Amino acid sequence: MRAEEYVAFDAVGLAGLVRDGEVTAEELLDVALAQVVATDDAIAAVVDVQEAVARASIAAGLPTGPLAGVPFLLKDLGCEAIDFPSNMGSRLYHGYRYRYDSELFVRLRAAGLVTFGRTSSPEFGIGPTTEAKVYGRPTRNPWNRLHVAGGSSGGSAAAVAAGVVPAAHGSDGGGSVRIPASSCGLFGVKPTRALLPDGPSAGEGWAGMAIDGFLTRSVRDTAALLDAVAGPDIGAPYYAPPIAGPFLAAINVAPRRLRIAVSERSFTGEPLHPDCAAAVHQTAALCSALGHEVTEAQPVVDIERFMRAWSNIVASGTQLTVHSRAAELERPLTDDDIERVTRLACEMGSKVSGADYLASVNAVHAVGRDMARFLVPYDMLLTATLAEPPALIGRFRSDRDDAWTDFIDYRLQHVLPYSPFTALANGTGQPAMSVPLSLNEAGLPVGTHFMARAGDDLVLMQLAAQLEQAQPWFGRRPPSLAS
């Protein structure tokens, strides 16, 4: 199979070819590996390749799952797997090997996916860009290499957009699937809190704000992946509401007439970049044309209070990750172990008392109740995904000492104005998605963002499929990397 044929199919389509005997899993892996080489200099998205592991899994006989034979990549953060070492985006964890397979990976493997490597991440998933020092070079946006691919699942987004794989694993603790989806012209969903398994090593991440997800070019690929992995694992501390039927079946049914609140302003109260405001306006018009009731409405959110609480939780989690590794290595940390933003997060985390941490969790939960009340008359809220088009490389680079003084300054004064929408859904636990309906005049993707009621993942996916059918995006690829 040639690369131009490979990128013409999504993951479900490639699995169909394997099932019908038109192509083999080995041939698909050959193309994916060639695509890594062909795109590496341009985007630097894939940071570890385990070709022998992938070939051995094929030779052993793949499970007869719905995605059998499809090449797949894991983010270099989370989705723990024995055969796939991880850096977690950090020199502190360089080449770290897990002693167990996460339940998420077990389910992905059972779906028949052929995992062959990992994609870049910022250090410990902090930030809206993927420029970690451990890799020696930034991950670049396939649409324009002067711009970021987003973060923290930036490597996965760049790899999918560039045609290395049709879909890839990501994770999202403040927008880390949806930000790169918006930046790279992909579809990205953050499911309802606890819909996907976190075990066996943990019950939740960042007080339940972090959850896994996927970067895809088609809605049905995300549906198939969610069907493969959704549901609690043994010992989960809490469960999401059960899903009423498979996602793949649900997306073939049009959603009911939805009541959609739309806001063209940032949660900070500032106006959006004109390109982002235009994308929201166009998406709202499309929703209205599809028969949905669209109403202008601005939720009242104390976003600064929320982000301070979010930052306390993330800083505490980062400090735990760093100091756990230092204890394992049995040596003090050095300046070369972690990057500046991580050091600032650890400094902040060391000052967060137990009472402060619990107060932050309470503050996050309070905002969740506020958003639940806001959505009583609506099914979902439509906003931009980002307040600006994808940033230039270097703007959010972790080691800059000329831009931020501490971790809260980094979050509130620099990241929040750029990404004021996505983190809210992590705090509230609501499902949210970025849909790739727009390109600006510079040819950069501009995503729009929908946040639904908790547990309404099926409705969200039905709307995504309807939007995709009305304004298809699958065939739109970065011109600079088109085959």
- Whole-angstrom Cα distance, residue 239 to residue 193? 8
- Whole-angstrom Cα distance, residue 256 to residue 292? 8
Q: How far is CA 108 from the centre of its chain?
A: 16
- Positive or negative torsion for Cα 183, 185, 190, 195: negative
Selecting among 57, 86, 153, 176, the annotated active-site residue is: 176
Tokens of 164: 């290395």
Selecting among 86, 90, 120, 152, the annotated active-site residue is: 152
Q: How many residues does the chain have?
A: 483
Helix residue ranges per DSSP H, 200-353:
219-229, 247-250, 274-289, 303-329, 340-350
- Whole-angstrom Cα distance, residue 42 to residue 139? 9
Of the candidates 117, 103, 115, 119, the residue with the CA atom closest to the CA atom of residue 228: 103
Of the candidates 135, 204, 202, the residue with the CA atom closest to the CA atom of residue 173: 204
- Positive or negative torsion for Cα 65, 67, 70, 71: negative
- The 10 Å CB-count burial string (b at 16+, else e) for 420-456 is bbbbbbbbbbbbbbbbbbbbbeeebbbbbbbbbbbbb
- 8 A C-beta contact, residue 376 and residue 280: no
- Please give the DSSP secondary-structure letter assigned to residue 129: S
Sorted by sequence, the CB contacts under 8 Å of residue 246 that are 6+ apart come out as 223, 227
Catalytic annotation present for 75: yes
Residue type, 15: A
Neighbours of 59 (CB within 10 A): 10
- Whole-angstrom Cα distance, residue 102 to residue 100? 6
Tokens of 364: 């996050």
Selecting among 57, 75, 316, 438, the annotated active-site residue is: 75
The residues assigned a catalytic role are: 75, 152, 176
